[in-house]
Structure 1
Amino acid sequence: MTDTSATTDGPAYTTEAYAAVEKAAKGRRDLYVPSVLEHAAELLTALWAAGEQHGVTPGDWDWSTSLGAAALDVVSRQYEHPKPERHHQELNTLVRHLLDALTSEEIGLTATLLSYPGVLVERGPQTPHGGYHGDADVEIRIYSDGGWTFSFAAEGASVVSIIAPASQAGASQVAEIVRAFVRGELANPFLR
Structure 2
Amino acid sequence: MSTTDTTTADGPVFSTEAYAAVEKAAKSRRALYVPSVLEHAAELLTGLWATGEKYGVASSEWSWTTDLAGGTLDVVARQYESAPDPVRTPAKVVALQGHLIGALTSEEIGLTARLSGPGVIVDRGPDTPRGGRDGDADVEVRIHSDGGWNFSYAADGASVMSIVAPATEAGASQVAEVIRAFVRGELGPVFRH
- Please show how residues 40-189 of structure 1 align to structure 2 within 5 Å: 40-81=41-82, 82-116=84-118, 118-189=119-190
Question: What is the distance in 2 between the residues matched to 1:136 and 1:7?
Answer: 41
SS at match of 1:120: strand
SS at match of 1:190: coil
Give the partner amino acid of 1:3.
T
Give the 3 Å change call, closer, same or farther, for CA 87–11 of structure 1 in structure 2: closer
SS at match of 1:109: coil
Decide whether the 8 Å contact of 2:6 with 2:16 is kept in 1. Answer: no
- Give 1:187 deviation, angstroms: 2.1
Decide whether the 8 Å contact of 1:17 with 1:45 is kept in 2. Answer: yes
- Give 1:167 deviation, angstroms: 0.5
Q: Which position in structure 2 is the counterpart of 1:4? A: 4
Question: What is the distance in 2 between the residues matched to 1:144 and 1:64?
Answer: 38
Runs of 4+ in 1 over 4 A off after TM superposition: 5-11
Provide Cα deviations, 1:137-175, integer angstroms capped at 9, x if missing partner. 000001011100000000000000000000011000000
Give the partner amino acid of 2:93.
L
User: What is the aligned-residue RMSD (CA, Å)?
Assistant: 1.6
Matched residue pairs, number? 191
Decide whether the 8 Å contact of 1:4 with 1:11 is kept in 2. Answer: no
Decide whether the 8 Å contact of 2:7 with 2:14 is kept in 1. Answer: no
- Give 1:66 deviation, angstroms: 0.7
Question: What is the distance in 1 between the residues matched to 2:28 and 2:110?
Answer: 30
Give the partner amino acid of 2:81.
E
Percent identity for Structure 1 against Structure 2: 65
Report the TM-score, using the length of structure 1 for normalisation.
0.95
Question: What is the distance in 2 between the residues matched to 1:7 and 1:167?
Answer: 22
Question: What is the distance in 2 between the residues matched to 1:157 and 1:61?
Answer: 38
Larger displacement relative to structure 2 (8-17 or 106-115): 8-17
Report the TM-score, using the length of structure 2 for normalisation.
0.94
Provide Cα deviations, 1:12-58, integer angstroms capped at 9, x if missing partner. 10000000000000111200000000000000000000111111111
